[in-house]
Chain A
Amino acid sequence: MSVPRFWREIPQRYNLIGNKCEICSKVYFPPRESCPVCRRKSIGHIKDLKLSGKGEVFTYSIIHVSSGEFEEQVPYPIAIIKLDEGPMITAQIVDCDPDCVKIGMRVESTFRQIQQDGYTGALYYGYKFKKV
């Protein structure tokens, strides 16, 4: 991850800014340039929408073998969460025993450090989720 690549997505990483097609009402996260349902009709009619950060676990795993960046956190639960506005999102589940994560569990977003570029690089923050 480079600084510009992270910085560009700050609205999404910090505040779950997605977007909504005003024609079919479908909500997207991350935001899409156009609605894949309405396609060209949606151009100019797809507006930013801040998502509530509330949703439920749709499926999950507990990562025991991670990439280097996450090695100190294993084993950690991670899930695909169905947000109340509709979109699915992949995020870690924190503040609970790995075993407590279940399909259907209500969760809400929390602000955490996601990665850091080693001991001298930038710190990257964003969303994780915790049990409600």
Chain B
Amino acid sequence: METLGIVSYGADIPRLRITAHEIASVWGKDGATISKGLGIIEKSVPSIDQDTATISVESARAALRRCHINPQDIGAIYVGSESHPYAVKPTGTIVGEAIGATPDLMVADYEFACKAGTAAIQTCMGFVKANMIKYGLAIGADTSQAAPGDALEYSASAGGAAYIIGKKNVIASLNHTYSFTTDTPDFWRRAERKYPSHGGRFTGAPAYFKHVTTCATTLMKKAGTSPEDYDYAVFHQPNGKFPVSVAYKLGFSKEQITQGLIVPYIGNTYSGASMVGLASVLDVAKPGDKIMVTSYGSGAGSDGFDITVTDHIEQLERSNAPSIKQMVDDKQYISYGVYAKLTDLLYWE
């Protein structure tokens, strides 16, 4: 029987880290308080030669190393990010060429704040379900920006994940998906601006919480499930507090969300965030496990997925690429000075 779902997955998290404490010390704040308040210990930082394109390519290659599909069978690539290296010129073509999927290929770059990656998954699901393509590649990746001294500086980080969507050798079936979307300007970056702006506490109740809660609730209704049916739940994680609080509000337990909660160690990877969380769950998932994923993108919308892990996950060569835990643990700390150099804060001319 053919099932629509995830065929393979891969992720890439840059190795450099800066601690909340280090950032706080530059701005005369108390690192311990901020770290505790945000639920973020440290965040990943892209090296000078890493960007959304390199993270996307490395994630896609990791996904391909775990399964054995011919890249030429990938018929569509969608890359979701709010930090595409070019404003005009697709990231997806770089990925397509680098994994050998060109030229019989549909490609586009997506942007929807932190949920552009899950939107890419939905697009691929549609094409696969309609038999227009054999496999689709959906990527969420970011090297997100934060203005110096802004609260986002503690969380805006770098990383991403790639998902191959198909009907053959599916390791996790995508049973249901649902999106809840409104026009809610809680966070934005104007064209040609370097750093984003946000509505402060407005990003909470009317934005993140309303959308994630409504999306998750509606999804469960459609799927006929309730929180206790899931082994794992992954929520968009802009910081360490929001996903925990929304999970409890919806009736999920700490045990259900811990495996997919990566933000305390790498920060918010934006378009990558919920997808890296799901990758962490798939790193340990067993046949029959049920997973719920709810992303959130400012502006605003949430994409929900009801997922069941299949027997085929045992055949996936998961060890052919590093696990999320391995990438979280492989790190090198940098000072704020080096961070400033790498993130272009020291550019002048």
Contact = CB atoms under 8 A, between A and B. Distances in A.
Interface of A: 10, 14-15, 72-73, 94-95, 110-114, 119, 123, 125, 128
Contacts of A110: 58
Interface stretch (B23-31, B49-57, B124-132, B205-213): B49-57
Interface stretch (B92-100, B104-112, B252-260, B269-277): B92-100
Contacts of A95: 15, 47
B61 interface: yes
30 contacts: A10-B97, A14-B97, A14-B98, A15-B97, A15-B100, A72-B341, A73-B49, A94-B47, A94-B49, A110-B58, A111-B54, A111-B57, A111-B61, A111-B98, A112-B49, A112-B54, A113-B48, A113-B49, A113-B50, A113-B51, A113-B54, A113-B85, A119-B349, A123-B51, A123-B53, A123-B85, A123-B86, A125-B53, A125-B54, A125-B94
B85 A111 contact: no
Interface of B: 15, 47-51, 53-54, 57-58, 61, 85-86, 94, 97-98, 100, 341, 347, 349
Contacts of B57: 111, 125
A1 B53 CA distance: 20
Contacts of A10: 97
Given A72-B341, A95-B15, A123-B85, A113 B98 contact: no
Top 9 A-B residue pairs of the complex, sorted by shortest distance between their CB atoms: A112-B49, A111-B57, A14-B98, A113-B49, A111-B54, A95-B15, A112-B54, A123-B85, A14-B97
A123 B54 CA distance: 11
Majority SS at the chain A contact face? strand
Given A15-B100, A111-B61, A128 B49 contact: yes
The interface centre, meaning the residue of A113, A114, A119, A128 with most chain B CB atoms within 10 A of its CB, is: A113
Contacts of B347: 119
B56 to A, nearest CB: 9
A95 B46 CA distance: 11
Contacts of A125: 53-54, 57, 94, 98
Given A113-B51, A125-B94, 7 more contacts: A10-B97, A111-B54, A113-B54, A119-B349, A123-B86, A125-B54, A128-B49
A46 B237 CA distance: 52
Nearest to A14: B98
